[in-house]
Amino acid sequence: MEASRGKYKSLTLKEKLKAINDVNQGEKIKDVAANFGIKPNTLSTIYKNKENLRKQIFESPNAMKHRRIRNGKNPDLDKAVQAFVSQAREHHMPISGSVIQSKAIQLSSLLHIENFKASPGWLQGFKSRTGMKWKCLMGDSAKADQAIAFNWVSNVLQPLINQYDGNDIFNGDESALFFRCFPGKTMAFKGDKCLNGKNSKERITMMICSNLTGTNKIRPLVIGRSKTPRCFKNIKSLPVDYEFNKKAWMTGHLFEKWLMKLDDRFTEEKRNVLFICDNCSAHNKEVQQKLKSIRLEFFPPNLTSILQPMDQGIIRTIKVHYRKSLISKVLESIENQQPLLKISLLDCINNLSEIWDTKVTPLIIQNCFKRAGFCAFGWNDDEDDNISLLHWQEGVQHFEQLRSVSSVDIDSFEDYIEIDEKVLVGDSLSDKDIIASVRSDNKHPKTDIHSDSVIITGERSNKKISTSEVRESINTLRIALEQKEKTLSSFFINLNEIQEYLITK
């Protein structure tokens, strides 16, 4: 008589992740397998494929409720269509099922897939495989699914970041900034998405990046429009990394160049780093193959408003301080009865650098990472609010003071902060670009990723500073420090080091 095979148990992807995490915590495979009611050799196979499992769930967090990763007949086509949908959402374009079906047919032709029909059944299967929902596709893309985000954080993100020290977990994100936008000129910018480079002379894109603890704030990357701005004359060093293109946008080439430079630094420091960012079209995924010390991961589509630490208050803090400084300049010019000076790109860079170095504290950064789910010990709402509340109130007071003495065309300080919130920061991928990005045999053009930043020259009429002028300026700063109560000794030390650098060397 043939022995009974017994009932076969199939784990959901969520259960598989839990089992993998239990093994990583030091439990024996046979004990974990017994807890889940499966055979040890079955769990061994699951554990062997853990990285592939996590990678696929990173890309499709809604799949955790399924018992297996559902790959379509044409996985490259699924990836290409998903890239098109994600890009459309970045650009705030509503998408219908018929639009997706039409684009799928176009992309299938480029992939040389024969006899493909984007039938209603295919569309339903595509939605199921990728976790897309009609509430996201039909005009309300800003409402990310909180339940999916929570499950992804608990089952995918937390086990991943548990493998790293907090000092080695990084997040970076781009944001546009209308750096010359004063409160009396906002109507020229309001609602503008900088399509086709409109108003590009007045905007920059900045990449802001830090580790979880806030102890390693990376120099901001500023992307401008001009290779040689006139305000850069005689300037040979900047407090930021500077790049350029005609629309002041992030591109795949610039992202790769910036990330490879960061990777070289971490390799030199002998660090293994986790870097998580959104999966926008400008973030070149294939750069991972060239990285030595950075593990590059991407947030799931449509959840970055919840999961991205930089979007939880870090970039906003920078803009609060920057806008407040512009208002102060207007008030100062009115008080002194002088015309308002134009803000140069160099003024903007120096202001941003000062804000990043002195105003965005490690505590602010830590709380924003907590809010995004990176820290298991939770987030204190009151503590986070108190960090920026004083600066926010000062900004509101300055705004109302300006409104009382001058004409402004915007209702509130809040509206002024958000004037460039929806501005595009990256270019669109063509259909051919999308196909190239998902093909495993894609050959990328070689880029000079290790070259130095652009050599800065220009036509600014800055005179060369003499040694006597340097001494006089240093002395003025020293007197100013001496006249302040309880000045930190580190300030005097820094001033002495600056003097040594500028005069002796």
Task: Tell me the pLDDT tens digit for each residue of 224-273.
Answer: 999 989 999 888 889 999 999 988 999 989 999 999 999 999 999 999 99
Using alpha carbons, select from 70, 64, 18 the residue that is nearest to residue 43. Answer: 18
Q: Give the start-end residues of each E strand in 212-363.
A: 221-224, 241-244, 273-277, 294-298
Both tokens assigned to 84: 């098109």
Q: What is the pLDDT of residue 222?
A: 97
pTM of the entire structure?
Answer: 0.70
- The pLDDT of residue 69: 57
Per-residue tokens: 177: 């900034």
Q: Which amino acid is at 380?
A: N
Q: Tokens 């919130």 sit at which residue?
A: 421
Continuous segment of H or E residues that includes residue 266:
helix 252-268
Residue at token pair 């219908």: 96
At residue 487, the pLDDT reads 82
CA-to-CA distance for 357 and 239, rounded, in angstroms?
Answer: 10
- pLDDT number for residue 434: 73
Q: Which residues of the chain have pLDDT under 50?
A: 1-5, 134-144, 193-200, 377-386, 440-461
| CA dihedral for 308, 314, 318, 320, sign (positive or negative) | positive
Rounded distance, CA 214 to CA 373, Å? 16
How far apart (Å, rounded) are the C-alpha atoms in residues 174 and 336? 37
